């Protein structure tokens, strides 16, 4: 299939078209006349699939704190119930939990730091590009201690009393099963359809020890409810009735249902996965912060990237003629596809991230230069042009592969051990390297075959202005006799 040139050209065209629609900003289209009344837009799509279960926001590339600002929250940890020797450890643990929560929000490159001010233990959180500030603050500061409770021993359960017990927190007592016995939670939907098919449910994933404790709890509450409380809520998230089958053994991960919507279910699942805070926290300060770099700095960065791209295109066309033009087309495809991936992931773009993207433009061109120079060498050695192109791609691949693998390993190390802007640079660098391999190898080779450039390969190097200047300077230098050369001749 991939040997068919028209299939490959169609695949490249499809990828480029879809990437262009993803990258395109929202452009309103309004036409109003006697023949047509149109009010719509192209680009900047905000899509939702499966009745809002999957959202895809393509309105703009997400920017980091240095480019777009965000929110700044200062949290105070309550250490009253923590021993003095354990407080520093508890603060770091709370910081790690908050960091996991922020990352699960889909936000990259936040700034999270812990500090001690006098006798107060604080955590500073800065998050870029957040729309719902209130929800984000609530999610960060919520303790998220999930408790499994059973009815008190003096409470006799009947179906008629379920509603009464459901609204009475004093009717329930704590058990040995808590959120610490869970290793995760997912939002799921009823696969069998029915009236509740669109209502989200939460599938609890117990650890091996937690599974044993839950089975023991179920055996003691056959045909009775078990209530799930989050923090100090007045009402349980859910109060499922224990069936005899469940008491015999927990085969699958249990699923709980409640009155929560998609947003609430996702938030609860996120908190359970991130873990409960080891200490309660309260918000001391909450405010919106502006971009640390002004709009002018951002514009200059994009201007520099555009100029660099243009100079690379001009150089490739000047040095390699039609091959350079095809490399330029591949470079444009590379830029559009890479930006589309930044939107789809989504990558939170910072100034170091932009630098990583611009750097990979040069790396993509470098691969084409290696290939084209190898093709010229094959032609100089007497190979037919079509065979020279084939051998040029095959023999240049080992050098391209090794250099890109080493760069990818560097990006992986930076992403793993770096923090903040360094991670953003590493991520954009890795994405750019992978896309550049597609554009410089697959795209360029396909375009060469489509436009039949093999007949126009000129193996002789171009003597441009720079070459002529070097030639004039090099001529007199050849006549200069250096002492070292003279000594060498005498020794010989």
pLDDT digits (tens, 9 = 90+) for 132-183: 677 677 767 766 667 889 998 888 888 888 888 888 888 899 888 877 777 7
Domain count, the chain: 3
Per-residue pLDDT reduced to its tens digit, 271-310: 666 556 777 888 888 887 777 665 676 677 778 878 888 8
The mean pLDDT of 419-428, rounded to a whole number, is 81
Could you list the beta-strand ranges (E) of 179-323: 182-188, 201-206, 226-230, 255-256, 281-289
| Residue 387 confidence (pLDDT) | 87
Q: What are the φ and ψ backbone dihedral angles of 416, each rounded to 5 degrees?
A: -75, -40
User: Do 415 and 304 have their domain in common?
Assistant: yes
Instruction: Supply the CATH number for residue 336's domain.
Output: 1.20.1640.10
User: Do 121 and 269 have their domain in common?
Assistant: yes
215 found inside a domain: yes
| Residue 52 confidence (pLDDT) | 55
Which residues, 6 or more positions from 140, have their beta carbon under 8 angstroms from its beta carbon?
Answer: 73, 75, 98, 101, 102, 125
User: Do 127 and 273 have their domain in common?
Assistant: yes
Q: How far is Cα 266 from Cα 202, in angstroms, rounded to an integer?
A: 9
Which residues, 6 or more positions from 290, have their beta carbon under 8 angstroms from its beta carbon?
Answer: 69
Q: Angle at CA 112, nearest 5°, toward 71 and 115? A: 115
User: Do 397 and 416 have their domain in common?
Assistant: yes
User: Do 272 and 337 have their domain in common?
Assistant: no
User: Do 394 and 434 have their domain in common?
Assistant: yes
User: Do 102 and 228 have their domain in common?
Assistant: yes
Checking DSSP bridges between strand 201-206 and strand 182-188, what pairing results, if any?
antiparallel
The structure's pTM equals: 0.62
Q: What are the φ and ψ backbone dihedral angles of 273, each rounded to 5 degrees?
A: -65, -40
End residue of a domain, out of 289, 323, 344: 289
* Distance, C-alpha 174 to centroid of its chain: 40
User: Do 216 and 311 have their domain in common?
Assistant: no
| Residue 474 confidence (pLDDT) | 47
208 found inside a domain: yes
- How is residue 177 annotated by DSSP? E
Q: How far is Cα 298 from Cα 305, in angstroms, rounded to an integer?
A: 11
User: Do 210 and 146 have their domain in common?
Assistant: yes
* Distance, C-alpha 148 to centroid of its chain: 35
User: Do 327 and 280 have their domain in common?
Assistant: no
Question: What confidence category does residue 83 fall into, taking pLDDT thresholds of 50, 70 and 90?
Answer: confident
84 found inside a domain: yes
Domain that holds residue 29: 5-57
User: Do 328 and 411 have their domain in common?
Assistant: yes
Q: CB–CB of 351/488 below 8 Å? A: no
The mean pLDDT of 380-399, rounded to a whole number, is 87
User: Do 254 and 378 have their domain in common?
Assistant: no
Give residue 196's region: left, alpha or beta (phi > 0; psi -120 to 50).
alpha
């Amino acid at each position: 299939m991939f040997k068919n040139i028209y299939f490959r050209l169609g695949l490249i065209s499809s990828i480029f078209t879809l990437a262009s629609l993803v990258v395109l900003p929202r452009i309103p289209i309004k036409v109003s006349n006697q023949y047509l009344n149109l009010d719509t837009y192209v680009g900047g799509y905000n899509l939702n699939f499966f009745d809002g279960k999957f959202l895809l926001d393509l309105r703009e590339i997400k920017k980091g704190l240095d480019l777009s600002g965000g929110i700044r929250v200062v949290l105070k940890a309550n250490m009253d119930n923590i021993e003095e020797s354990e407080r520093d450890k508890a603060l770091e643990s709370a910081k790690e939990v908050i960091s996991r929560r922020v990352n699960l929000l889909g936000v990259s490159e936040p700034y999270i730091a812990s500090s001690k001010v006098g006798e107060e233990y604080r955590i500073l959180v800065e998050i870029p590009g957040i729309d719902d500030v209130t929800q984000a603050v609530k999610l960060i500061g919520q303790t998220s201690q999930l408790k499994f409770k059973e009815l008190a021993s003096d409470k006799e359960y009947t179906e008629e009393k379920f509603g009464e017990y459901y609204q009475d927190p004093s009717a329930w007592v704590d058990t040995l099963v808590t959120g610490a016995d869970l290793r995760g939670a997912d939002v799921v939907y009823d696969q069998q359809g029915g009236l509740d098919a669109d209502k989200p449910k939460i599938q609890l994933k117990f650890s091996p020890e937690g599974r044993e404790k839950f089975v023991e709890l179920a055996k003691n509450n056959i045909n009775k409810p078990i209530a799930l409380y989050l923090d100090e809520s007045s009402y349980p998230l859910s109060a499922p009735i224990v069936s005899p089958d469940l008491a015999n053994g927990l085969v699958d991960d249990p699923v709980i249902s409640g009155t929560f919507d998609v947003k609430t279910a996702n938030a609860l699942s996120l908190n359970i996965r991130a873990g409960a805070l080891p200490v309660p926290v309260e918000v001391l300060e909450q405010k919106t912060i502006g971009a640390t770099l002004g709009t002018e700095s951002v514009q200059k960065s994009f201007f520099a990237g555009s100029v660099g791209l243009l100079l690379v295109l001009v150089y490739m066309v000047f040095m390699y003629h039609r091959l350079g033009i095809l490399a330029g087309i591949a470079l444009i495809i590379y830029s559009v596809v890479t930006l589309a991936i930044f939107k789809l992931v989504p990558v939170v773009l910072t100034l170091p991230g932009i630098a990583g993207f611009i750097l990979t433009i040069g790396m993509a061109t470098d691969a084409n230069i290696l290939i084209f120079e190898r093709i010229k060498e094959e032609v100089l050695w007497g190979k037919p042009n079509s065979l020279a192109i084939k051998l040029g791609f095959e023999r240049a691949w080992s050098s391209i592969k090794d250099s890109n693998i080493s760069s990818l390993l560097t990006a992986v190390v930076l992403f793993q051990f770096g923090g903040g802007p360094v991670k953003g640079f590493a991520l954009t660098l890795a994405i750019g390297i992978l896309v550049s391999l597609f554009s410089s190898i697959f795209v360029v080779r396909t375009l060469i075959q489509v436009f039949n450039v093999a007949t126009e390969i000129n193996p002789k190097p171009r003597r441009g202005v720079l070459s002529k200047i070097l030639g004039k300077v090099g001529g007199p230098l050849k006549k200069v006799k250096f002492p070292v050369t003279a000594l060498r001749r005498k020794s010989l």
